[in-house]
Structure 1
Amino acid sequence: MGKGMMIAAWIVFLGLLAFFFKNILDKQHNPNQEINSSVLNSGIRVVRLVRNRNGHYVSRGYINNQEVTFFLDTGATTISIPEPVARKIGLKRGPPISVSTANGSIEVYLTTIRRLSIGSIVLDNLSATINPYMEGDDILLGMNVLKKLEIIQKGKILTLKQYP
């Protein structure tokens, strides 16, 4: 009985340790799990994002009311969604198209996002692609979204503004 309890205690301890370190790593990858967001009296919607440890801007957000993680990518033309994430949030594959990536041309599938939000910023009816070759859970937030916003980068903070 004593040995069994000791093994159980170690299992619980290691589980808690793994949970603790996973939370630390998640916060290092995405320091914007709680969005710094406001709406000014003028109607301007403002979101401030903190750069992650790798110098990228990653943020929690929503597609069609489903929580997702965005990776802001000024090098991406459109929103690019890994296929497993697209399935999870209920997006359907549309017609296939060929796109150029850093690794060459690939076939992806068109889709439409009814509503995308990051904090107080809300955009409707956006084109996106479902990428069957993309790994991970991060959605690339491309220029078809970013061009609709004012972007100010200063120090470790990226400020996004949406004008009425």
Structure 2
Amino acid sequence: MKLLKSKWNFACLLVSVIWLASVNAVALDARKVEVRGLFKNAAILQVNGQQRMLKVGQTSPEGIKLIAADSKQAEIEIDGKRTVLSLSKKIAATFSEAALGEARIPAGRNGHYFTTGMINNQSVKLLVDTGASSIALNSIVAKQLGIDYLTSPRYVGVATASGTTRGYRVTLREVTVGGITLNNVIAVVTEGEFPRDILLGNTFLSELDMKVESGVLILQAKY
């Protein structure tokens, strides 16, 4: 009788282990991917709630690789399997298809314009700030992006919420927002944690035409 009970307990334990393994596998494999923006050879994806801007050939931290993209659809690869996605109907009302040389940024709940972009081929979150004379980022973010600002021979005084701090003038090799890419863009890196968000200022914006339609900020290259 004890032997039968032991076998029964072992069987229950084995089933429980298998069930837990199955649950964990589903959780690990569950990657919700939604297309938020489409451009030639680039796409903005939302993966498990996180926005990722990828160029063709790049892979997100979640393992989503962008194979191809244009203004109509994106082909992605997940664990060796490929699928084609179009702009979601839910987002289409806010994000109309953006052409090369254009970016469309919907206003947030507080009226600010946040967007995902790329600095030196690395995905970043940007806050559009027409009052900032240049792109501005703090030294913590600069280090994460591999920007060697301390070797810059030029620095300026920058006013922050906690007082005046030193800012270093640097040149960003490449800045991409939507379908717009500019090279050799001036930026200022400030010591410390301010500004908390990367400010997309006028060293980038002044090269573009800007307008707002139905709450969407539209940036267009001047060429």
Q: TM-score, normalised by structure 1?
A: 0.71
For residue 92 of structure 1, the aligned residue among 148, 151, 168 is 148
Taking the aligned partners of 1:161 and 1:143, their CA distance within structure 2 comes to 14
In structure 2, the CA distance between the partners of 1:163 and 1:121, relative to structure 1 (3 Å rule), is: same
Runs of 5+ consecutive residues of structure 1 not aligned to the other structure? 13-22, 40-44
> In structure 2, what is the equivalent of residue 125 of structure 1?
184
Q: In the TM superposition, what whole-angstrom CA distance separates every residue of 1:24-67 from its partner, at most 9, and x where no partner exists?
A: 6x68xxx9xx895312xxxxx12111011111001100011011
The question of 1:38 aligning with 2:103 is answered no
Q: In the TM superposition, what whole-angstrom CA distance separates every residue of 1:6-25 from its partner, at most 9, and x where no partner exists?
A: xx9xxx9xxxxxxxxxx66x
Q: Percent identity, please.
A: 31
> In structure 2, what is the equivalent of residue 68 of structure 1?
124
Q: In the TM superposition, what whole-angstrom CA distance separates every residue of 1:42-96 from its partner, at most 9, and x where no partner exists?
A: xxx1211101111100110001101111100011111111211111111011243
Q: How does 1:5-154 map to 2 (within 5 A)?
A: 37-39=98-100, 45-93=101-149, 94=152, 95-101=154-160, 104-135=163-194, 138-154=197-213
Q: In the TM superposition, what whole-angstrom CA distance separates every residue of 1:83-122 from its partner, at most 9, and x where no partner exists?
A: 1111111101124321244664321112110100011101
Figure out how many residues of one structure are paired with residues of the other and give that number: 150
In structure 2, the CA distance between the partners of 1:35 and 1:71, relative to structure 1 (3 Å rule), is: farther
Taking the aligned partners of 1:75 and 1:92, their CA distance within structure 2 comes to 26
Task: List structure 1 runs of 4+ shifted beyond 4 angstroms.
Answer: 101-104
Larger Rg over CA atoms:
2
Counterpart residue identity of residue 143, structure 1: N
Runs of 5+ consecutive residues of structure 2 not aligned to the other structure? 1-12, 25-47, 52-90
For the 8 Å contact 1:108–1:131, the answer to whether it is kept is yes
